[in-house]
Structure 1
Amino acid sequence: MLQSWKEVLPGDHYRVETNGLLHSFDQRVITLLYQPLIGIEAASLYFTLWQEVEFLEEHLTHHHLMGSMNLSLDRILKARKKLEAVGLLESLKKKEAAPGQFVYRLEPPLTPNRFFKDGFLNLFLYRQIGAREYKRLAELFAVHRVNTADYEDVSASFDEVFKSVPASETIDERNNVKTEGSWAHRATSPKIGLKTHFDFKQMMTYLSDAIVEEDALTEDVRQAIDKLAFVYRTEPYDMSKAVQAAALHTGEVDIDALRKEVRDFYLLEHGADEMPALYERRQPESQREFTEKEPQTEEEQLIAWYERNSPYQLLEALGQGSKPAAPDLRLIENLMFDTKINPGVINVLIDYISQVNDHKLNKAFVEKVAAQWARANVTTVRQAMNYAREEQKKRKQTKKSPATRAPASARTSARKEHQEVIPEWMKRPKKTEKQTKENEEAVKQRAKWLEDYLNQI
């Protein structure tokens, strides 16, 4: 749950406008293609704002929006951010206005053709609904045209139907018609924005000028590379190979061919039919503290473990080696997609919440903490651990009486008995009984250290 009062208040005003025309067909696209990604509340917010486009002369308040949707401001803000993340909404806030004044600009969704060729949103839709449902939707939006090879064009031309305008009537009266703004049009669907961008400069050092010139990297190509690198976690060297392969014959980068090259490389590395999962990613090299040097202290060892392991592996560790539950994986996937928090920071966040919340990953609580860390721009593991330590300090300070501290103490004792934070045995498939006991002891020692780290003030 977000702390909405930091960004918007119920009394703040807003107006709604659209970036071009919205059609009734857009409702179908948003319901079937976008709603599985953003959820029903975000889709409902889009449709609600759509109905308020005509209220240009009125100053609507967010209190009105809360009443019309029967939702809290926190949930409305969360839904708004999801719309912004997928490119369906642009939110503008007037500087130093009291009360706050917002303009919510609705963007048209991608057409089905562009959505299924996007290489970004369609991939997340595939992972959300599965291969069977994805295939059904793709077929639902497919256009089957009649083969017109044996047909001839018998359409009438303009001058066959209409007479020319007399010269005396060709005086352009349009300049006398004064209008503000521009005429309604169909806007181009916006591109999805990423907070972290691909290192094009490094990639250019690997490209051969004989195959690909810098001019071939148009804005559309760069956008495609940015998204493909994010989805498939492609390094500049590997991306340069894919770009050269996609431009080998023409000198121009074919985006469809580029997408196929990157996907094929990923499948080659990870196995057939395996699509990339956000929860399997690890801390980016640029945000790691221990890439070349080895950790010396226990704290540094813990930092290195968070950096070198994925959230999936952390859930395995917390579950004592069992396969993570699907709801937990979806929760982490949504966190990484919505907040763009680094995997190492996600590890600290999940481990911290497991410590303080009696091993329970409550969705609302996890999302609340994740949003708070995202706003604080926590990017490294050490920052996350320090932030968690400060949060633990604040939690203790808010406890006012011994009666409220006693249950927490009891839960702490329970956690010391059961917590399995960093199991060494998960790195090897088979263990002897002696090795298992030694690893269990190591796990308990490291778990105890993490508990002491969080509780130390």
Structure 2
Amino acid sequence: MKDNWKEVHPKSIFQSAIAYPLSDQEQAILTLLYQPIIGAKAFSLYWTLLSEVTETGVSESLFHADLITMLDMSIQEIQAARRKLEGIGLLGTFVKNDNELGPQFLYRLNHPETVERFFKDEVLSLTLLNCVGQRKLDKLFDRFKPKYTNLTGFEDISAGFKDVYLFKEEQIISQNNQLRQMEQAFSDPRPAQKLSAVNESFDWAYFIQGIEKLGIKLPDNSVGFKEEVFVFHNLFGITELDMIEFCSKSFDYYTSKIDVKDFERAVYRTYDPDKKQKASQFQTNDSVELSAEDQQTYRYNSLKLNGFSTQDIQMIMDSEKNFPLNYLEALKNERGGYTTPQERSLVKYLVSKSGLPNSVINVLINYVYNIQKQPTLKADYVNRIANEWAQSGIFSPEKAIDHVREIAKKGKEQKQSRQRYGQNNRPIRQETLPDWVENPVEEQKLSKEEQARLDKEIQDFLSKGGGN
């Protein structure tokens, strides 16, 4: 019967149904946790089917032509969207044949998992991770995780139920039939289903034999671990032998059981490794042997000859002798602010993943904080800049400064070009600027007096050695 979808055509009849309305929390879960996985088309199909359901729990009979019109999608696109909903457990499709009307479809909409079950499900959590990335997953988890109140030092003085309400135990017997009927009404007749990532291309039996030969045992939650193995196999193409190798480095020596967290870390270290930072690139005098102090003097003079101002040079030197977190904290402290946990995490991520030298990361921080006037570092924006700089080979602070100024110059020229285009109606070729330039965080323009005062503040700050 699963092939009956091939018989669907615009005149095929369907109904949609759901047991009870979605709560506000479930709507948020669908939008923020499921939509990144299933995509916009499947998300739209779910809500369209849901919108047709009446108070009876079932929609009127509709033609698939109605779906095509409402969604502006072809039958093939609706099929693909339907399969995504089915695969993740949000939709059950049923069909029956009518001698006169042909196949009739019933689309049973399922409620999303609760937040707790979603994040405890290895398949769902890892699938979301692979769709949105680690930083976004962390943000979503922080949003949905329970916020338990610390009750240390408090005493519970709440009244009990029987202290307030009258309850007659004998009613349990006299009203037994009605109570049982109400209980059964909320019992879902569907068998509980757990999403599975099982892939027949992975030989599970061979994998088990391999770890048993090494004296290694599966973890207590062997079913969940099996799903995780299949997810990693599908995601990275890890073979049975490589998976055995990961397990051989990730087990508890006392129990001989696989440590799931160590196993995950071993996989991610291999397939999502930290990026080795490039060394800061700058001109040195190798023709003669110079002391470190003399090299600094040579570097200062080289920068001066290349047109950098004294203030530029001070910032460059300062960026090279400070770690990014210390640099950021110094900038924040100077203005009376503080570094947020999210900013600390972002800076650590840049250091481990971007490959940019610390000095370039510091210039980036300075650009966002001092030039763009942002009170905090926003992960999406900062990562867009870091990606563009890494791909452009910007591995020295002076290159970063030159790049920012060149981008600003091109932006100004483009603005003037657009104005000229509006005056004489003649097209002018324009070079596309990086996304972080075209879509920056809102920037405040300063007067000449404010800019001069700010420049002096930065110069005074940098002359103190960056807050060290």
| TM-score, length-scaled by structure 1 | 0.48
Please tell me whether Structure 1 or Structure 2 has the larger radius of gyration of its CA atoms.
2
